[in-house]
Structure 1
Amino acid sequence: MTGAAVPLDLADPGVVADPYPAFARARAQAPVQWHEGLGLWLAFTHAESNAVLRDRRLGRIWADREPVERFGSFNLIHRNAILEMEPPDHTRLRRLISTAFARGHVERLRPWVEQLARDLVGGLVERSGGSDAVDVLSGMAEQLPVAVIAELLGVPQTDRPLLRPWSNAIVKMYEYGRTAAVEDAAERAAEEFVGYLRALAAQRRQVPGEDLLSHLVSVRDADGDRLTEDELVTTCILLLNAGHEATVNVSGNGLLALLEHPDQLQRLRADPGLLPTAIEELMRFDSPLQLFERTATADVGIGGVTVREGQRIAALLGAANRDPAVFADPDTLDVGRSENPHISFGAGVHFCIGAPLARVELQASFRALLELTSRIELAHPARRRPEFVIRGLRDLPVVLTR
């Protein structure tokens, strides 16, 4: 094995709490390094991480979790997912999904999202009253994206509380060091979610509406191709899992970063026009997804090492987004940063298809927080979730003053 070996312990509570110093030390040694514990290569720089995401010899090659009889539904929703496909299958599926999205769903929802954000933040401000602690995560950040995806898909109001527990259980399968109980919960959630969406899709075939699910049911390309039922179900689950987790964690990580950098929070209050660049900077500064894997379909030279066919390599998105070769003062939060080629949404053919919707949600959330409060204070230290790959908080207790 050529190339440096990195001793990065992704289960170390210190690394989970703040991985960026460890990333910087590793980046100074070599751009790509072997991790013996994970059995894969890690890319620490922006250039190499970008190459991992874009090089077509490095693909998303899905392998069913074993034993397959234990993970039937979990495997189904990944085997048919656009995120786990390569061209030409990926090209076909993305074209169909993009056609359905192109019917103006994001802009249709924008006023609704902005009003929901104001309602949720307004409720938090009312409960806090300038003196009591309220949790921004459970009170706003976790509710908004689930509600938006549910509205986008046309999920009935009475069923919407089902979605977030399903999503939370499934995404825990992406972490390292899982327990058997976590795996069983993920499979149960996947099975229930698949069953629910099959029934809802059947209803939409009978009585279509103007929601995205109805359009996914009916969409066809120029050749008359359409989504299979498994692809349809998987696409809806992916929209919730990916969209929900990313938006929640940018909201939590981002607000915490602003509270820890009060000069930048005040700068944003003084100039709300900075909000679009601020959202991009919050995504760069503390990435909601830290690691994204690829598998080599041929030998690939990258960062001075050779990734052999069949080996895995991961782009460390958080490390790439703090690379001093690309970002001036990378450890400094700058809400006005205009040159900001962060890769938190990915890159290449797998660039996040829900990025426009995520930006609408995040801008609505932070705009409501800024406009409906005169002061936001951290009530007591936020607790971080113990997982490394999906980086987020357990809670974010704040005092909000109207």
Structure 2
Amino acid sequence: MSAPFELSDPAFLADPYPGLASARSEAPIVWHDGLGEWVTTTHRAASDVLRHRGLGRVFRERAAGHDDPWTVFDWLHADSILDSEPPKHTRLRRLVAGAFGRGHVERLRPRVVELAGGLADDAVAELDATGRVDLIARFAEPLPVLVICELLGAPTSDWKRLRDWSQAIVAMYEVGPSPEAQQRAQVASHEFASYVEQLAEQRRGEPGDDLLTSLVEARDGSDRLSPRELVATVVLLLNAGHEASVNGFGNGVASLLAAPDQLDAVVAGLDDDAVVQRLVEEMLRHDAPLHLFERTATEDVALHGVTIRQGQKVAALLGAAARDPQVFDEPDAFRADRDPNPHLAFGAGIHFCLGAPLARLELQESVRALLRRTGPVEVVEAHRRPTFVLRGYETLVVARRAEAAATSETRG
């Protein structure tokens, strides 16, 4: 049986969940003709695919030779934790986790609070002056890049360049990227890699109290990260961290604002860490920032009634897993106090996101900072990205609730 949804259908991109539910009613794993691979439809199937050792991340190089424009793009992926398997993955994760383990994430909390508060103040100033503000452009996009600049010790003035490089590279993860998108990804890969190489060279001569210095110094006995592995790690950290935070925030805030009763309860409980933590987990579940994560069979694998042949791909559909009624009560409803909440937004198994603690920290402090300053607001204009793999908003314009009602009456 074939999955009953088409990834190029604008209606599906606007709201994929009915189509994913229809596929779930057929089988836990179904074939998708458009993708030419298997896809999961349930939470259990997605979790099993992510954890099965016969299903790995097998990166296929694009470059035909060393002078091919795709060369840097290729090694940025082949030498990263995300696209490697044991024993290489085990070695890389041990080294990178050791660098992260020096307390860099928790050390950043006061600075994250400060950055989020400053951006929220600017957003509220615009809201007061004009009656509306785009939360993506003014808040969600700059914050995670500024945080990663702080984490790495990079100049915060470079955040727009880093964001643009990240967006160009991750556009390649969508289905059928255009020739223009492919060219932008090639250029961004070269420029981003060169930038990180220069920054790493500075840290070798002038160590600092930052993650990049720890990565430069990371050792396990005589083993250490190679220059390419170090660069690939930093690029992955920004690409994954930026997209997860921006999309997780935009999707989650839109879901929260569409449930006014939930919003009022959250605003009243912002001083309670548990309230904010549960809210963030529901933001990540209800409208997942990452919808598709691929694996390739390194051997024939039998799962949930199908056989995935060696060399075939299978995609864990994380958005489908997050709306599985066998795991989540009222899965289509946004419940800010949902607990437990075993979503798969950060993956599972050996590729579970190493940056999950940082992403959670950013989301918790950013939503707290914003809602403390704005109080109840409503969405007055929103535009989705025309993408499925990385699901998010291009714009999410809000106004204070009373002003939003007046705007609607004027338009009517």
Pick the TM interval, shorter chain.
over 0.9
CA distance in 2, matches of 1:80, 1:306: 30
Deviation at 1:160, TM superposition (A): 3.0
CA distance in 2, matches of 1:25, 1:158: 47
Change (3 A) 1:256 1:158: closer
CA distance in 2, matches of 1:350, 1:232: 18
2:22 to 25, 28, 45: 25
1:46 to 43, 46, 68: 43
Q: Secondary structure at the match of 1:379?
A: strand
Task: Name which of structure 1's ranges 345-354 and 4-13 shifts more when overlaid on structure 2.
Answer: 4-13
- Contact 2:286/2:323 (8 A) holds in 1: yes
Unaligned runs of 5+ in 2: 404-412
Q: Secondary structure at the match of 1:340?
A: coil
Name the structure 1 match of 2:104.
Answer: 105
- Contact 1:121/1:369 (8 A) holds in 2: yes
Name the structure 2 match of 1:281.
Answer: 282
CA distance in 2, matches of 1:130, 1:199: 41
Deviation at 1:37, TM superposition (A): 1.6
Percent identity between the two aligned chains: 52
- Contact 1:131/1:400 (8 A) holds in 2: no
CA distance in 2, matches of 1:159, 1:27: 44
Name the structure 2 match of 1:340.
Answer: 341
Name the structure 2 match of 1:259.
Answer: 257
1:85 counterpart = 2:84: yes
Name the structure 2 match of 1:224.
Answer: 222
1:373 counterpart = 2:374: yes
1:388 counterpart = 2:388: yes
Name the structure 1 match of 2:232.
Answer: 234
CA distance in 1, matches of 2:158, 2:267: 37
Unaligned runs of 5+ in 1: none
Residue type matched to 1:286 in 2? D
Normalization by structure 2: what TM-score?
0.94
CA distance in 2, matches of 1:90, 1:256: 36
- Structure 1 runs, 4 residues or longer, greater than 3 Å off: none
Deviation at 1:210, TM superposition (A): 0.8
CA distance in 2, matches of 1:51, 1:61: 17
Name the structure 2 match of 1:160.
Answer: 159
Q: Deviations over 1:44-77 (max 9, x none)?
A: 0000000000001000011102545131111010
Name the structure 2 match of 1:312.
Answer: 313
CA distance in 2, matches of 1:161, 1:343: 29
- Contact 1:261/1:333 (8 A) holds in 2: yes
- The alignment's C-alpha RMSD in Å is 1.3
- Contact 1:113/1:361 (8 A) holds in 2: yes
Residue type matched to 1:13 in 2? P
- Contact 1:295/1:311 (8 A) holds in 2: yes
Task: Name which of structure 1's ranges 257-266 and 154-163 shifts more when overlaid on structure 2.
Answer: 154-163
CA distance in 2, matches of 1:9, 1:70: 31
CA distance in 2, matches of 1:310, 1:123: 51
Residue type matched to 1:46 in 2? H
Q: Secondary structure at the match of 1:84?
A: coil
1:56 to 32, 53, 56: 53
Structure possessing the higher relative contact order (Cα contacts under 8 Å, 6 or more residues apart): 1
Residue type matched to 2:239 in 1? N
- Contact 1:129/1:400 (8 A) holds in 2: no
- Contact 2:4/2:22 (8 A) holds in 1: no
- Contact 2:293/2:317 (8 A) holds in 1: yes
- Contact 2:140/2:249 (8 A) holds in 1: yes
CA distance in 1, matches of 2:159, 2:299: 44
Q: Secondary structure at the match of 1:98?
A: helix
- Contact 1:46/1:320 (8 A) holds in 2: yes
- 1:314-329 equivalences under 5 Å are 314-329=315-330
Q: Deviations over 1:140-173 (max 9, x none)?
A: 1001000001110111234333100000100000
